[in-house]
Structure 1
Amino acid sequence: MDDDLNNLIADFGSAGVSQLNQHQVHPRFREFKNENKEKEKQRQRRQDALERQKSAREDFVLKLRGLINSTPKKDTSPGVQRPRPNREFADQFMTSEWLVDIPEDFEEWVMVPCPSARRCLLVASNGVTTAYSKKGFVINQFPSHLPGGNYSQHKNSLTILDCFITERRHRESSSETSKTSENPKRIWVVDLICWNDLSFTESEFDCRQFMLKSRLEENGNLHEQSAKNPYAIVALPWCYCKKEAMTEMMNREFDFELDGVLFYHPKVLYIPGQNAMIGWLEPWMMPEILDVPIPERLQKPENRGENAKDYMARFESVNSQSMYIGGADRYTGRLNIQKDVEMNEQSDKSCALDLSNT
């Protein structure tokens, strides 16, 4: 089971929709003199990615089938052992790029605010839940109420989620005061890959979000911390990219420190690799790029006087070997910092692929 799981995650990369090197400078910044040409190239890259994902998803589906049909092995070794870091888990997230050209159908896209926390691949299988970092190392292992996540229920099931995980202190802001409080152990889910042996890799993003919300709501125990569920597991909020909805979202008081915002094409499938159908902005960029107002607490005084596109270009010029790709490889996104902070079983068959009977 462990070998199959390693092979599954390792093969994420081979199914990527984009051939872009994440360490290369964003194509949008190569020719500032011809912005219309660059916008057309961006639109073409998004269309190409939409076409490539139709075939790229098949490899991952086959790997999931093999994993489900395998026989889980119970760990009989004495004591509590932490799994060794596995490089095969590295770089297996579906990642974004700076949102520099706004697509014509942008109001149909989905906006997801993201916390300042570690990105992790959460895998519940064989009675244990494991959080893997972007670099492929084990962040933590623990029981959970996810299918496959503990020995008392559905231990032979498989669940895979794209998440952010934190145990750090965070700031709670209000219009009058700002205070620091202890943040409970929490996992925020940004995307659904597999749930209780049902693969959602052939589902479009907006469908995955609907199914994720319903699955988490069906199991209220996931939202609460307990001995069998030490991390509260909740879905991140989202909205469609209409100005009124985005404005309301940006003015919310989140229970986490806002790091930035991801923008998903509604039809994007979950296939690892950098994807032109996913964009990223830091909060202070929203007024300039999208004409969406933000509260004063999200302003960045150090960025005043510099427009967002110049900042992006300058950032990528300085950080060509640590390109900020929004949420997935959670770099700080500040030019003066170079450090990687890494910081229901009756599913709608049109939205999920049941792997348990294949």
Structure 2
Amino acid sequence: MAPHDLRRPFKRPKISDQQRRRELSLQRQAQHRRDAQQQARCLADTILSLQNDVAAEAEPQFESSPQSEEHSQDFDVRDAAKLKGAEARRWFAKQLMLPEWMIDVPDRLSSDWYVFARPAGKRCFVVSSNGITVSRLRNGAMLHRFRSSLPNGGARGNNSYCILDCVFHEPDQTYYVIDLVCWSGMSLYECTAEFRFFWLNSKLDEIGGGNDRKYRFSAVVVYNCDQEGLKAAYTGMVPYVKDGLLFYNKHAHYQSGNTPLVLVWKDENCSQYVVDTDSKGQVPDQQHVVLELLDDGGVVTSDDPPVKFGCLDSDFVQKTGLKTSYLLRFAIGEGGLCFADGKLEKADLHYLGKSNRARAFADSYSKVIFQYAVRHSPLKIEHLFASISSSNEEENTPCDTEMVG
């Protein structure tokens, strides 16, 4: 039976609160939007009152939301473009929006989500400013410095700038753009993914993808995550090597760090690397994880807030010379991972050593759980198709409740 013909929804043991965190993320977005609108109304009202009251001796002070202050400070890319060395790497390493791994199938997958084939390659931020274009990897290290057709990316003109979220695909020297953050100085951080994707395609068409330059820019083809869209993303031909599927909630804003509103999923048919390999490119017998060491000896994920997987003995920490914030490698032993009500209760960890120095972050909780599920009870493409079919059937089921006039 073909995957898209399945009708029975797939039920898995609850090992995550991913759906609850998705709902909380959307609630925070809505509140942030309301705060920004209130701030704009206050500003507009104050300007009008100042025009009517020329005798005012001092301008009133406003309280801006901590989120909006943090947002304006963190994403001043014109100042960040002047940073050098380690300082620049630290700043850029914190800017990318990182997808969680799909542990559970989201609610309303067919109506609220997009899907597309993720290009294999180097994930990076591309910033054009001051007549030059620079790409930086996920750890903040510089990848390329070049001239481009992006706004203010090839010839110094004005103070505008552009920020793209890309995957650099080396075989065809192309930056495949998976998201648009800023264009000509216009910030799209608080715009929905639905709007950002529309804007991205129209703006890349204007510059022709930069075909006259050393590197090209090309948008990926994004589908609605219905039966046809999921099938096209999963089996359709693309001009790049696939590395899994990316799912975007249509209402998601662009936010730095891990988010449950963007999800990555893989299997052997759409990715060469489903199970993590070791430094030699081999699949280890036991799953390996990278966790960050805290002051109290706890080892945690990169999430905010972090998820604690265990605790190292203080004598062991002192004897091995480990320091706070070190990234450490562990193997998950035969005891595996134990869950209760969607939360991790216990992990059988075995210390292996310090992580590669090139790494900037520990693993996320969702990545660890996805990799664990791949080895024991994987979430398969049939389950995604079945979830869409089940959702469609529920939406098409007539309501038995009568309307009372």
Q: Answer whether TM exceeds 0.5 for this pair.
A: yes
5+ residue gaps, structure 2: 1-10, 33-65, 276-283, 290-329, 333-348, 350-354, 356-361, 376-405
Is 1:43 matched up with 2:44? no
In structure 1, which of residues 138, 150, 157 is the aligned counterpart of residue 154 of structure 2? Answer: 150
Structure 2 distance, partners of 1:279, 1:241, is 12
* Aligned twin of 2:85: 84
Letter in 2 for 1:323: D
More strand by share: 2
Is 1:190 matched up with 2:178? yes
Would the aligned equivalents of 1:94 and 1:271 in 2 still touch at CA under 8 Å?
yes
When the two chains are superposed, the root-mean-square deviation of aligned CA atoms in Å is 3.7
In structure 1, which of residues 118, 126, 129 is the aligned counterpart of residue 133 of structure 2? Answer: 129
* Aligned twin of 2:3: none
List per-residue Cα deviations over 1:146-166 (Å, max 9, x = no partner).
0010116x4531100100113
Cα distance change of structure 1 residues 138 and 110 upon mapping to structure 2, 3 Å threshold: same
Q: Secondary structure of 1:89's match?
A: helix
Letter in 1 for 2:139: K
Cα displacement (A) at 1:237: 1.2
Structure 1 stretch 253-262 or stretch 55-64: which is displaced more?
Answer: 55-64
Structure 1 distance, partners of 2:273, 2:178, is 29
Name the TM-score, length of structure 1 as normaliser: 0.60
Structure 2 distance, partners of 1:116, 1:326, is 20
Structure 2 distance, partners of 1:265, 1:148, is 31
* Aligned twin of 1:351: none
Letter in 1 for 2:118: C
Would the aligned equivalents of 2:120 and 2:240 in 1 still touch at CA under 8 Å?
yes
Structure 2 distance, partners of 1:57, 1:66, is 15
Q: Secondary structure of 2:19's match?
A: helix
List per-residue Cα deviations over 1:97-127 (Å, max 9, x = no partner).
2212112211120112111100010000000
* Aligned twin of 2:41: none
Is 1:201 matched up with 2:189? yes
Cα displacement (A) at 1:219: 1.9
Q: How does 1:282-321 map to 2 (within 5 A)?
A: 282-284=266-268, 298=270, 318=331
* Aligned twin of 2:319: none
Cα displacement (A) at 1:274: 0.6
Q: How does 1:3-22 map to 2 (within 5 A)?
A: none
Letter in 2 for 1:105: R
In structure 2, which of residues 121, 130, 154 is the aligned counterpart of residue 117 of structure 1? Answer: 121
Letter in 1 for 2:142: V
Cα distance change of structure 1 residues 324 and 262 upon mapping to structure 2, 3 Å threshold: farther
* Aligned twin of 2:42: none
Structure 2 distance, partners of 1:83, 1:58, is 26
Is 1:276 matched up with 2:260? yes
Cα distance change of structure 1 residues 238 and 65 upon mapping to structure 2, 3 Å threshold: closer
- Aligned residues between the structures: 247
Cα displacement (A) at 1:218: 1.7
Would the aligned equivalents of 1:61 and 1:201 in 2 still touch at CA under 8 Å?
no
Letter in 2 for 1:204: T
Would the aligned equivalents of 1:111 and 1:263 in 2 still touch at CA under 8 Å?
yes
Cα displacement (A) at 1:232: 0.6
Q: Of the two structures, which has the highest relative contact order with CA contacts closer than 8 Å and spacing of 6 or more?
A: 1
* Aligned twin of 2:218: 234
Q: Secondary structure of 2:103's match?
A: coil
Letter in 2 for 1:84: G
* Aligned twin of 2:106: 103
Cα displacement (A) at 1:233: 0.4
Cα distance change of structure 1 residues 110 and 131 upon mapping to structure 2, 3 Å threshold: same
Structure 1 distance, partners of 2:106, 2:12, is 17
Would the aligned equivalents of 2:92 and 2:140 in 1 still touch at CA under 8 Å?
yes
Structure 2 distance, partners of 1:301, 1:58, is 38
Name the TM-score, length of structure 2 as normaliser: 0.53
Letter in 1 for 2:180: L
Q: Secondary structure of 2:139's match?
A: coil
Structure 2 distance, partners of 1:51, 1:207, is 19
Would the aligned equivalents of 1:201 and 1:269 in 2 still touch at CA under 8 Å?
yes
* Aligned twin of 1:243: 227
Cα displacement (A) at 1:96: 1.4
Letter in 2 for 1:191: D
* Percent of matched pairs sharing the same residue: 26
Cα distance change of structure 1 residues 103 and 219 upon mapping to structure 2, 3 Å threshold: same
Q: Secondary structure of 2:229's match?
A: helix
Q: How does 1:23-62 map to 2 (within 5 A)?
A: 35-36=13-14, 38=15, 41-53=17-29, 54-55=31-32, 58-59=68-69, 61-62=71-72
Would the aligned equivalents of 2:102 and 2:366 in 1 still touch at CA under 8 Å?
no
Structure 2 distance, partners of 1:52, 1:318, is 35
Structure 2 distance, partners of 1:137, 1:267, is 31
Structure 1 distance, partners of 2:272, 2:116, is 20
List per-residue Cα deviations over 1:200-226 (Å, max 9, x = no partner).
111001110001011111221x241x3
List per-residue Cα deviations over 1:293-344 (Å, max 9, x = no partner).
x6xxx487998xxxxxxx9x956684897537899xxx9xx99xxxxxxxxx
Higher gyration radius (CA): 2
Structure 2 distance, partners of 1:199, 1:302, is 35
Letter in 2 for 1:272: S
Cα distance change of structure 1 residues 90 and 325 upon mapping to structure 2, 3 Å threshold: farther
5+ residue gaps, structure 1: 1-32, 74-81, 170-182, 285-293, 304-310, 336-358
